[in-house]
Each structure stands twice: as structure tokens, then as C-alpha cells.
Structure 1
């Protein structure tokens, strides 16, 4: 019986998609299926995805009529999910063969939890350069620091994901930060397994290229999340943290990332 559906938004990832899907095909448990949604790719992404869908009965491919962004794309995938659990995966990352087995084992043994993510390795063309190691059992107050869960390694109860309304399709960034806050607002709990069962392809300079406009949007979202979770007033000044980052020279942000995410 299939219990897990992986939802994957794909866009211009022809050079990495095969590696991502192959890591799913190597999972130690067979009870999963993959729904990919092509978000208007202009390279060979769709053709690669189509080949996998034709070759494997548990892989499906759908498309958007135009480029809509990740949140809307994942909501489109969610329309076709009919399993107990929904997992995430990106088309340029890889996961460990035992990822689903260990996440499913946790959810089976801990029915009080609606979310289970994992620690995550960061890698580029030179190999693994860092690790994201979130708190094991976050609480609402942890949202003051940013997202308490890594998005791409997440596995969720499908019924709860639908109950809270899925992703906010209007958001172009930090969709996961908003989504997790809706889970916690509704009283659901999440956990992060300490073992890095997922590896994210990451550009170490990515955060240095965010514009002031993007930082301002992040401030607006943080305001919404802080209000939604009733974060105490003494922490509200942290709503403006993205604007502070906008004033920090890019080379200092790069150095800070190396320290924070050092293996």
C-alpha cells in the first residue's frame, strides 16, 4: 500500500533532475509515489521528467499552464495526492536511501507529530561544505529566528496539510516559513531528525544577492507570522531582521554562513 507521495516542483533543472529522482528510486521502502509539476521550464527539464514518468508507474508528471512559482506549483501537486503522508523533494537535491524509512518510522511511533524534517547537508560542485542542523523539537518561539524546519526534507500528514489550506500561492519566497506557522497556530507539532538524510545543492553566496525589495517582503511575512503565533511583544523588534541583513556587506554574510553552516 502506497503511503507517501512526494511533491516536486521542477523548473529549468535539466542538469540535476535525474540525480534527484535516482536518489528517490534508491529508497529502502517501496511504498511511495512521485508527482512532479513542471512550472514552465524552457530547457530539457520536462523531457527528462517525462522519460521517468513513462518508465516508472509510481512517477507522474503534470504541468502548469504558465510559470506560477513554487508555492502554487506544490499546491497543484497536492491536488493529486491520495496518500497518508506528503513529502517534499527538490529537483536539484538528493536524499539518503533510508530517508523515507526513518521519517515514516518516526511518524508511526509518534502520532502526536504532524511534521518530520531532518538535518541537511549543503553541497556544491566541490562537495559538502556545510550542514543545517535545526532544533530537534521547535516551539512557536523559535519562529523569531527564522524557519524552524528545513523545507525540502519535510514529510507531513496529508490531512493536516489540507486542513490548514496548503501553501500560500501568493508568496514567492519563504513559503515554508509561512506554512509551518499555520501548522503551529493550529496546535500541531513538528520535529527535526538530527541525522542529515537530505543534501541540498546550495550557492554559498545566494543570500548576498537578495534585493532590498525582497528583504522588505520578508519583513512583511515575519510580521504576519509573529502576529499569527502571538509572539510576545519583546521579540517583535526581530521582525526587522531582514532589513538589518540588507545593510551588512555581502562578504561578511558569506563569512557568517561559513561559520554557521560549517561541517
Structure 2
């Protein structure tokens, strides 16, 4: 988990509390502070470092923010467990999230990455959306050729699998999770998605706006070309998905939000 200057103390507190209140608590929380943060966040961090419900919080401070991919790689270096559970500093776990995912992972040693469904909610009072995804590995990989169906903050993954592919790459900006999932699939890692909402994902208009524009579009095109060169996409898929996402990234932020809603229920 990482936090940074643009996060709020209220969101960070809600996120951490949802981890500390788990029916099966984590052995360790690795919190990467990605550059300086305000006094409010520092107070929240100090509060939870002294909370004995979880005995080991590893706090890593980076002098300057370099983005999520770098923060996640630094965090992974400090994870000592067999499994790594991802969490964002503004999302909220259901109380049984770790219990459910860990039970599935232990019962299915052939599966290395377990995600879940999620509910996207908005602070502005807009209706929430349920993000559903296929459950089986083959269906997930087929869907990944067209869009990212895995919710990054919902995954539990065997740490060895992450390290085997070199962790995250900073090459494609905010597509670092999508890029990771495709490289894991190509490395033979097996996926499963539990068809149950175990994470509530905070969303907003500003987030949709950030995921558009010319610069984002160019990175998206480069990413798809890389997927083609690696053999993950064929020519037809490359042409179709690049055309679709070029249009998607260049439309207005409000229209993009409506289009996002079409792939939720």
C-alpha cells in the first residue's frame, strides 16, 4: 500500500481501518509514503503504527514521489510473506476479504493471483457501480486482450510470482497494473476472480479525466503495440483495440465516465 501528497487523511484512515479490522488480520502491513505528506496523514500513520491489532507495520518513506509502480516495487522488497495483498490508500476492504482470498489461495496452490469483484463508489453521491469480471483463468486472459478486468486493489498474489516477472514497470504510466497482469499471464501465472465484492473502490470524475487526453492516449498505443510484439495480441486485435481506446481516451471526461459505466452493472 502506498500513499502520497494528494491523498486525504480521512481516506487513508478509512482504508487502514478496513485492514486492521479484518476477520483474519495480515501478518504485516507495508506502507510506502511516496514523498512528503501533510500533517493529517502523518497523524493517521502514527495512530496505526501504535495499533496492536497488527503487530508489524513496515513504514518506508521515499524522499520524492515517483509514482505507484516505483512505490509498489519498493514495497515488494520489504514484504516477507508468501502472499502480497494489494490495497489502495483510498479504497475500503470488506471485513472478510483476507479470510476469503487466503482460503481460496491455500485450497488452490496452482492459482497464483486471486482477484475479486468490486463496488465503485463516488464521494459526490453518484450511484455506485458493480465491476464484475469472469472467474476462470482462460476467460480472464481472453478478456485482458480487450480491457483490464482485474481490479488492482483487489488482488492477492504469490510474492514469488511478482518477483519472477520483475515486479512493476514504469513504462506506461497509469497502466502499470494492466502491464503487470499481461506479463504474469505470459509467464504462465494462473488467475482466478472470486465473484464477490470484497473491495469498495473510491472513484470520481477527476479520476476519469486523468485517464484521458493525448499523452495518455499515446502511452496506450505504445502499450498495445508492446502487447502485439510480445505475442499477446494478433494483428486484428491490435487494430481493433487501438482504434477503440484511441477514441475512448480522446473523448470528454464526462462522456468517458458514462462509457466506463457501460462495463459495470
Q: What TM-score does the superposition give when structure 2 sets the normalisation length?
A: 0.89
Report which of the two has the higher share of strand: 1
Distance 1:141 1:76 in 2: 31
Distance 1:116 1:103 in 2: 7
Structure 1 vs Structure 2 CA RMSD: 1.9
Provide the aligned length of Structure 1 versus Structure 2.
255
2:49 is equivalent to residue 53 of structure 1: yes
Q: CA deviation at 1:227?
A: 2.8
After superposition, the Cα gap between the structure-2 partners of 1:197 and 1:208, relative to the gap in structure 1 and judged at 3 Å, is same
Which residues of structure 2 form unaligned runs of 5+?
Answer: none
The aligned residue for residue 175 of structure 2 is 174
Q: Is the 8 A contact 1:71 1:171 kept in 2?
A: no
Q: Is the 8 A contact 1:219 1:240 kept in 2?
A: no
- Map of 1:57-206 to 2, 5 A cutoff? 57-125=55-123, 126=125, 129-137=128-136, 138-204=139-205, 206=207
Which residues of structure 1 form unaligned runs of 5+?
Answer: 1-7
Post-superposition Cα deviations, 1:48-70, rounded to whole Å, max 9, x if no partner, equal 21331133422221111211100
Q: CA deviation at 1:172?
A: 2.2
Distance 1:153 1:225 in 2: 23
Q: CA deviation at 1:204?
A: 4.1
- Map of 1:28-39 to 2, 5 A cutoff? 28-39=23-34
Q: CA deviation at 1:47?
A: 3.6
- Map of 1:224-243 to 2, 5 A cutoff? 224-237=226-239, 238-243=241-246
After superposition, the Cα gap between the structure-2 partners of 1:230 and 1:246, relative to the gap in structure 1 and judged at 3 Å, is closer
The aligned residue for residue 3 of structure 1 is none
Distance 1:47 1:226 in 2: 47
After superposition, the Cα gap between the structure-2 partners of 1:256 and 1:205, relative to the gap in structure 1 and judged at 3 Å, is farther
Q: 1:11 pairs with 4, 29, 32, which one?
A: 4
Distance 2:26 2:257 in 1: 40
Report which of the two has the higher share of helix: 2
Distance 2:183 2:85 in 1: 17
Q: What TM-score does the superposition give when structure 1 sets the normalisation length?
A: 0.89
Distance 1:256 1:60 in 2: 39
4+ runs deviating over 6 angstroms = none
Worse-superposed segment, 113-122 or 129-138: 129-138
Q: Is the 8 A contact 1:16 1:92 kept in 2?
A: yes
